[in-house]
Amino acid sequence: MDIPAMRASFAKAAAAGDEAPLYFYSHLFLSHPETRRLFPVSMAHQRDRLFQALGDVVAYVDDLDRLVPILQALGRDHRKFGTVAEHYPAVGASLIATLRHFDDEWDAALEQSWTTAYGLVAQVMVEAAEEASGQPPWWDAEVVGHERRTIDTAVLWLRPEPEFPYEAGQSVSLETDVRPKLWRYYSPANAPRPDGLVEIHVRAYDGGPVGAALVRRVGKGDVLHLGPPVGHIAFDAESDRDLLLVAGGTGLAPLKAVVDHVARIGPPRRVDLFVGSRTEERIYDRADLERLAEEHAWLTVTFAVSADDLSPLEQGDVGEVVVRHGPWSSRDVYVAGPAAMVQDTTTRLVQAGVRPERIRSEVFAPSRLGPSLDGEVTE
């Protein structure tokens, strides 16, 4: 394999922008029409993701220690899309046809390099997928409860079938038949329960196809699909330090799961949860959080509003309010919410003397396609 030559030819295709993935998918669907059903109607985002994923592969191709785990995760995750081993050669042929199309200096040696490289990539992914065949490619999850809490937020309770193993703080990709082939990541808002129910908080961002469908169209009795859980906020269940949790918007979900984990599994420790919102009426899970605070002496819940002068709650950005209640230097800190809120809160906490390595954060934004590298789509 001539890696520099491969990188050069990939750069030529990448320089063609959207043209290259457009050519690739058209070529793939014409030569293998049966692959079309694995993809959503609109391919616009799909195209970006393909070249981003391929770019990762090309970038790390000489760093196998790093590349192989990414590919294995990809291979496992692709099972939920309905990808099977037979699809891999089809994709490889179209990929090489695309690279050839956009490269004036394509030659047999380059084709050989790419064929070999793709063969290895496919092999790693297929093997990882086969190793994971002990668990289902996806889980059917019936909606057993659906509550509209505000104009654009809903809380859903799902019952996955068969048992869905996950840990507090992880993310789960989710698809609804109303929006086929569009997978979005959400965080369960509870630790695993004996009855297997999973609580999900969904915010419908304006124009967002999946969130809006989950909030407004999906109801009790509908069945969603869950992909395998992926670790993300990296909740350190082993630590017994007291906790400071700071949530904005539906970033509350993984933090509520952490509270639930402490309640169910322990170890016992003080937990302070701050929930920030623009206005009081947007605090969508207040009643349940107040119930938890009442049930557990170790839990304190504080609500803060940033644009609601009339509210009797704490006033100010949640980061500001948190620091006002400090010091927090002995705590493990978890921050989850919109990017600006996460940024602002971590900055203030670091300024207030919290060690940066004790702060873990997760950004909740529209279209959480996937947590960075893993979960990305390569086809």
Partner 1 sequence: MSIQPHQPERVERRMSPRDVRSVQLPRATMLRPGYNDVEVDRFLDRVADELARLHADKAELRDQVRALQEEVAGAPVPEAPSDQAVRILATAQQTADSYVAEAEDFSRQMTADARAQYEEQVRRARENAGAIIQAAQEAAARMTAGERPATVDAPPRSTQELEEQVAYLKAFGQACRTQLRAYLEALLVDVETEWGRAHPGALPPSAPRGIPAGSSRAPAPNVALEAPRDDNGGGDEGAGSGQQSGVGRSVR
Where along the sequence are the contacts to partner 1 (CB under 8 A)? 22-23, 25-27, 29-31, 41-44, 89-90, 93, 97, 101, 151-152, 204, 206-207, 209, 212, 279, 281, 310
Closest CB 215 distance from partner 1, rounded Å: 11
The 3-state DSSP class for residue 16 equals: coil
Nearer to partner 1, 204 or 335 (CB): 204
Closest CB 353 distance from partner 1, rounded Å: 37
Q: What is the C-alpha end-to-end distance of the chain, expressed in Å?
A: 22
Closest CB 200 distance from partner 1, rounded Å: 21
What percent helix, strand, coil does the chain show, rounded to 5?
A: 45, 20, 35
Closest CB 90 distance from partner 1, rounded Å: 8
Q: What is the spatial order of strands in the sheet that 243-248 belongs to?
A: 314-315, 299-305, 271-277, 243-248, 332-337, 359-363
Tokens of 278: 């623009």
Nearer to partner 1, 168 or 204 (CB): 204
Nearer to partner 1, 44 or 109 (CB): 44
Q: Round to whole Å and give the CA distance between 186 and 166.
A: 13
Closest CB 26 distance from partner 1, rounded Å: 4
Nearer to partner 1, 73 or 213 (CB): 213
Nearer to partner 1, 96 or 275 (CB): 96
Write the DSSP assignment of 205-241 as a string of letters. Answer: -TT-HHHHIIIII--TT-EEEEPPPB--S---SS--S
Amino acid letter for position 208: G
Q: Round to whole Å and give the CA distance between 92 and 121.
A: 10
